[in-house]
Amino acid sequence: MNSKMIIGITCCMAVTLFGAGKGKALEVIVAPVPLSAAGEALLQKYEALLKVSQEEFLKALPKMDEANKGAFLKAYQEETSATLAALQAMGASGGKKATDKAALAQAHTNAQVALVQAKEKAAPLAKTVLTDLSPFLSSETLDTALVKGVVLKQATPRGLAAFAEKGKEQEALVEQLLSNTALMRQMLEANGAEGGNYGQAMQIYTAIQKASPKAKEGILQCLALGTSLEQAVPIKQNNPPALTNAPALVDPVKRYLHFEKAYLDGELDPAFKKLSAWECRFVTNGDETEDALTWGREMLRNYRPDHISTSDYRWRYVKAVKTDVQYGSKEQVNDSPNLQNNQNIINTGGVCGRRAFFGRFILRCFGIPTTARPQRGHATLVHFTPEGWVINLGAGWGWGWLKNNQKDVDFLAMTQARKSPKAFLQVARAQWIADLVGEKRSLGFCDEATGFWNGVALYRQRAIGEELKAVALAAVGTDIGEANVSKEADVIEKVVITEADKKAVVSADGTITIPAVACTKPQESTAKILFMKSFKDGYQLHYSRNGAAEPFEYSVEVPAAGTYALRATVSMVSPGQKLFVSANGAATPVEIALPYTLGMWEATQPVQVALVKGKNTLVFTRNDPGRGMSVKNFTLTPVK
């Protein structure tokens, strides 16, 4: 038997062993599923189309000076090697277990110097090549052959044939795609179909546009296309364990329709309407259910509206991780099988992974693009802001990576260049040519140098960033990546609350409604007690999870002495919480059980307090450690 191959009983799998030594990799090669006779005919058709497109485009490629081309390619290779060396030296110098810190720091400095030298050497060569190629890369003349060839190459003729042989409808979808240059180009600009599944992406895109006529233009067309491309490989849905009959996969059409409705209802971030199809991929690709997304928006609007209204986009929405997702895993045993995953996370907390999951979830709820950005031994996230992408809960740029092991600094450079779509199209064309001529796609300068056209793409991308004077945003939340309390002082946004906003209201039955912000102490926000504008009407008080316990009190005028039923309208994200109230200095405070409202507004069960005619003082306290609590108002109803 051949020692390199074991042929199994089934005809669809071959297993190849690379060496027999300890720790050698076992590669499992799955043979393609055989095509039907119709599929074989389609395969030959698509192979012929690919060949025609390649020949038509490649013969039109501009002639390059071979000496310039060779010098450029060598400089590109040297810079990528220097970039990787500098990155590795940085990682080694920052390692927690490093022993000779001084030597490692010097090695890092030397690597940085070598990188600067490599960049300086490459710069004039890149400028010459880019100047020569600029007219060609800026022209749409050959796009029909180029984008068709690249789609066929990425999808593979066999992949398209396997999809198209399923029926006339599927075959027609492939034909529609291959005849629509503008759509193929937009797909490729948005980074192509996940897994090369262009047939599936086209099927989803068509189904979305059938379900909603609004999906044909503007941001909603971008949303439809981004969703279709990203979910061309199905996403496993994260359902509550108790819901055993829930759908196993995210439905891309329902996911699109959910965000379309949220957008049209004004529930998404104002920046959403300007997103590209590529950015939309990072909004609709979550594993949560549509019910969970609806809950996330409503919860934050009730519980922490200040995280929605903050002008600091770096922390908008995602600050809920900092304020309310406690660090630690010991309480995860209390996760409820009946709740959505992120409802459990904000209740029982978690270490870096769960906190990053929640951060990405709450950003997606409001239409903000976000993705995972792990680093060594730690899970973090990165997300869109109008000023650029920013890291949350981890170290700065250079310490992490993203999908397909792309280094975060390479991802950053790409996002910066994408802010100029017309210019970035030159980058994209160079990458598509690289695909067509058989170069392995390079993810950036931290990746290996894979060929001339990938080098052209990367240096054009860098030039765009320089033209835009792009600046990387510093990471935020670094010190709470693995901690509960930040060392950075929070900026407390001041709200103006008038006397009219604080005024108690007496109803016909004698019930007195006291706005939660009508405190006599404190009268302004503190680190523990925050006054904030409610999402819809009026104002509310938030009692923070972090910080030392702090009482808050009210002065209330009542028309007659007697017993009153006290209720509080609260929003809670954790169960088992309590509030205590003392009326007029009573020695024993009355306990108020706070309902687990999952972030919705709900009144507590009434407790009785004895009040005197005229002025009364109500003092509220909580025992630490406690969780966050938002209060809209208190009511006092005379007990008959």
The pLDDT tens digits of the residues spanning 94-132 come to: 766 656 888 888 999 999 999 999 999 999 999 999 999
Rounded Cα gap, residues 128 and 408, in angstroms: 28
Return the pLDDT at 485.
Answer: 79
Return the pLDDT at 30.
Answer: 60
Return the pLDDT at 199.
Answer: 98
Q: Burial of 617 by CB count in 10 Å (0-12 exposed, 13-18 middle, 19+ buried)?
A: middle
The answer on pLDDT for 1 being more than 60 is no
Sign of the CA dihedral with 177 first, then 182, 185, and 186 last: negative
Of 340, 337, 360, 358, residue with least CA distance to 349: 358
Distances (CA, A) of 599 to 26, 304, 473, 529, 571: 49, 9, 32, 18, 5
Ranges for all domains in the chain classified under CATH 2.60.120.260: 499-638
List residues bridging with 14 in a β-sheet: 7, 29
Return the pLDDT at 97.
Answer: 64
The pair of structure tokens assigned to 234 is: 């199905």
The answer on pLDDT for 7 being more than 80 is no
Instruction: 258-267: list long-range contacts, CB under 8 Å, 24+ apart.
Output: 258/290, 258/293, 258/294, 259/223, 259/227, 259/283, 259/284, 259/367, 260/212, 260/214, 260/215, 260/220, 260/223, 262/293, 262/297, 262/367, 263/219, 263/220, 263/223, 263/367, 264/214, 267/297, 267/366
The pLDDT tens digits of the residues spanning 26-59 come to: 455 667 779 999 999 999 999 999 999 999 999 9
- For residues 228 and 6, the model is more confident at 228
pLDDT band of 483, cuts 50, 70, 90: confident
pLDDT band of 624, cuts 50, 70, 90: confident
The answer on pLDDT for 16 being more than 50 is no
Contacts for 488 with CB less than 8 Å, ≥ 6 apart:
479
Contacts for 359 with CB less than 8 Å, ≥ 6 apart:
318, 320, 321, 370, 381, 383, 392, 393
Instruction: Quote the percentage of the chain above a pLDDT of 70.
Output: 94
Rounded Cα gap, residues 84 and 79, in angstroms: 9
How much is the average pLDDT of 504-514? 95
Rounded Cα gap, residues 108 and 233, in angstroms: 41
Return the pLDDT at 623.
Answer: 84
Q: What are phi and psi of 226, to 5 degrees?
A: -60, -40
377 backbone φψ class: left, alpha, beta (φ>0; ψ -120 to 50): left
How many other β-carbons are positioned within 10 Å of the β-carbon of residue 448? 12
Contact 434, 457 (CB under 8 A): yes
Element (H, E) at 185: helix 181-189
The pLDDT tens digits of the residues spanning 559-584 come to: 999 999 999 999 999 999 999 999 99
Return the pLDDT at 484.
Answer: 81
The pLDDT tens digits of the residues spanning 129-171 come to: 999 999 999 999 999 999 999 999 999 999 999 999 999 999 9
Instruction: Quote the percentage of the chain above a pLDDT of 90.
Output: 87
The pair of structure tokens assigned to 52 is: 């025609």
The answer on pLDDT for 17 being more than 70 is no
The pLDDT tens digits of the residues spanning 169-221 come to: 999 999 999 999 999 999 999 999 999 999 999 999 999 999 999 999 999 99
The answer on pLDDT for 493 being more than 90 is no
Q: Look at 10-24, 245-259, 350-364, 585-599 and tell me which has the smallest mean pLDDT.
A: 10-24
Of 380, 465, 374, 466, residue with least CA distance to 414: 465
Contact 390, 473 (CB under 8 A): yes
How many other β-carbons are positioned within 10 Å of the β-carbon of residue 38? 14
Homologous superfamily, domain 499-638 = Galactose-binding domain-like (2.60.120.260)
Would you tell me the crossing angle of helices 252-264 and 218-230 to the nearest 10 degrees? Answer: 150
Total H helices, total E strands in the chain: 20, 18
Return the pLDDT at 626.
Answer: 85
Rounded Cα gap, residues 52 and 39, in angstroms: 20
DSSP symbol at 322? H
The answer on pLDDT for 640 being more than 90 is no
Return the pLDDT at 24.
Answer: 39
The pair of structure tokens assigned to 435 is: 């695909």
The answer on pLDDT for 600 being more than 70 is yes
Is 592 strand, coil or helix?
A: strand
Return the pLDDT at 375.
Answer: 95
pTM of the model: 0.93
The pLDDT tens digits of the residues spanning 453-472 come to: 999 999 999 999 999 999 99
Return the pLDDT at 29.
Answer: 61
Contacts for 444 with CB less than 8 Å, ≥ 6 apart:
406, 407, 409, 410, 411, 413, 414, 458
The pLDDT tens digits of the residues spanning 402-416 come to: 999 999 999 999 999
The mean pLDDT of the chain is 93
Contact 574, 538 (CB under 8 A): no
* Torsion angle, alpha carbons of 169, 173, 176, 182, to 10: 160
The answer on pLDDT for 300 being more than 60 is yes
pLDDT band of 20, cuts 50, 70, 90: very low
